Amino acid sequence: MIKSCVDYLTEKRTKSIWEQPVDQMLSKFNDCISLNEAYKNAYHNVCDTSEAQNGTYAKFNFSETQIFGDFDEFTARLRGLTFILQNIQAFSSIKDLPIEGRIAWARNYYLRLSQPMSLFWNQVPALRDSKDAYKATARYNHLGEALVAYEILVYRNWKSHLKHCIQGTNAPLLALVRQNDRVYELVNLDPDIRTLFREVACMDRFGCPIPNIAREIYLRSRFLKTRRDKLQYMISHVNAVFKRINPDLEKLLAVRLYKFYRLYYRGFYEHDWYSSLVDQWIKEVEEELDSLEHLLNQAQDLLETHINEVIERISHYILIELPEPTDIQEADQALISDCDITYSGQILNQRTRSVGRISTLYRSPWKSSAWDVYDLVRVIHRRTLQGATEIQLMSQSVEEAANRYINMLAGDFYQHVQRFEQRGKSYREFDDQDEKDEPHSAAHNDDTDKLTDAGGHYSLLDNRTASSLHRPTEVRIPFTTTHGASEEERRQKLTAKIYATIDEQLRNFGQRTVDAVIKAVRTSLEEVWRHFGMREASGLLKDVPVGQKVNAGQCRLLMIESAS
């Protein structure tokens, strides 16, 4: 098995593991390690099955170290190689040394060669004129020339690369990057420019001449880094705010978001790194973001405090409150006095013979909690009326809060529609005035008469359509740059979508309120049923005539008069 794994790793000993791609070798190492684990698991399963069947462990009483020792050692080496290859893959960028690293390497290498050579030259002067000394000196000089030439070549390449790096400062501030079917907004600062700042400092420390163009950009390094940090903070702020905007809020905030995008996207095509208006633009974007975040906070507070909490109170509202019975032992030990009599047989026999009821004396099993059925009906009636009034007030509060919530989010949309209507009205008035002042030619009148005689209708819509061809296209709608009829059509579609979203939000709040009321009524009915399903309420229920309406207020009044 080890030989087969070696052939698998080296492709039958034709390629070394260091000549193959790192990802491919890591996959092969994992396959070999998995093979060893599967081999062990199969051995243990066979041992357990044999022991369960025969009751003895004699057939597989072998040393696992003797069986798996070599394979375990082989897989341990594979794990070590896996660790090495993973580090090579993780730090593969180190092999591409920067400019200052290459120059530092060349100088350190030359220094390591010059130290023993100078020691040999100074300590053993007798060997200077020997043949071997000439050969060593020639090799040293040749290698020194190669290192110096390498340093000069690297420096020249760095100087030629400067112009290409500096061109990155003319790029826009922001850029869009698509990754995993998602679009990300990034700060468009070339990484080579950030590397250049460090290279200039190192070159100056090495004593290399610094070109003026590199020195100028190095002096602006603090300025560019500060601007980059501001942009990164702005992007993080934008992402944090827009994570709070769901699709429904996005439709309600369409006009507001359009204004923000129109300002924000200037960083993608208008401003570069040396633009003098960048700080003012960042300040405007931050102010717009703060305003949008403040609006979202207000809407969230209104939603949670005045809508969700009120709906929650409606769903937990108790329409009926009935007395809770005491403990059964306390009820058995309680004294039954005359004031605890729920129904009096004498009173009911005198006043309710016409009803045909057969009443018996019933006493409450616990003190101070005895209600007769008429008291129950009256209390429930009074309590439900009061509860219905309170629920109605709370539902009206939810409706008002929902309207404020919608108006708060769609305020810019309403203003946009109002401005558009006012502008369209001014256009129509201007066109009507032109029609009054414009002299009508005879040919035009003849054509009009012909249309009228033919049964056609010369409507004002035709005049407006004709005159609209000469209007300036000043009106712009969110998320569109079209003109003319297409602009009008898209504006109408967007307006219809926003109005539909507003109606959907209001219906959603109304449906939630109705569900909360239904839940409150259901909970109250279940509470009544829980009380009447108790053993103590069985005597109360048997005195109620089935299928017959009872006026609780009148019967209670008769009982009070009889008692007096």
Tens digit of pLDDT at every position of the chain (564 positions): 888 888 898 888 888 888 888 888 899 999 999 988 888 888 888 877 776 666 554 556 677 777 888 888 998 999 999 999 888 888 776 666 678 888 888 888 888 888 888 887 788 777 777 888 888 888 888 998 999 999 999 999 888 888 888 888 888 888 888 877 777 888 888 888 888 888 888 888 888 888 888 888 889 889 999 999 999 999 999 989 988 888 878 878 888 888 888 888 888 888 888 888 889 999 999 999 998 899 889 888 888 888 888 888 888 888 877 666 544 443 343 333 333 333 333 333 433 443 333 333 334 444 445 566 677 777 778 888 888 888 889 888 888 888 888 888 877 776 766 665 555 444 444 344 444 444 444 444 444 343 333 333 323 223 323 333 333 333 333 444 444 556 667 677 777 777 887 888 888 888 888 888 888 888 888 877 776 665 555 555 455 454 444 444 444 333 334 333
Please give the torsion angle defined by the CA atoms of residues 32, 37, 43 and 48, in that order, rounded to the nearest 10 degrees: -170
Residue 380: which of 305, 321, 295, 315 has the closest Cα? Answer: 321
Q: At a CB cut-off of 8 Å and minimum separation 6, what does 258 contact? A: 477, 478, 479
Q: Which residue has the tokens 């009326």?
A: 385
Distance between CA atoms of residues 458 and 76, nearest Å: 94
Dihedral angle computed from the Cα positions of residues 485, 488, 490 and 495, in that order, rounded to the nearest 10 degrees: -170
The pair of three-digit structure tokens given for residue 328, joined into one six-digit string: 């059964």
Identity (one letter) of the amino acid at 80?
G
- On whether the CB atoms of residues 241 and 299 are closer than 8 A, the answer is no
Helix residue spans in 438-483 (DSSP H): 442-453, 460-467
Cα distances (Å, whole numbers) of residue 185 to 129, 168, 446:
69, 17, 63
Q: Is the pTM higher than 0.85?
A: no
Query: What is the C-alpha separation between 147 and 143, in angstroms, rounded?
Result: 6
* Distance between CA atoms of residues 119 and 132, nearest Å: 16
Residue 372 is predicted with a pLDDT of: 67
Q: For 336, left (φ over 0), alpha (ψ -120 to 50), or beta?
A: beta
Residue 343: how many other CB atoms lie within 10 Å: 20
Q: What is the pLDDT of residue 94?
A: 62
Q: Tell me what pLDDT residue 246 has.
A: 84
For tokens 């307006």, what's the residue?
Answer: 495
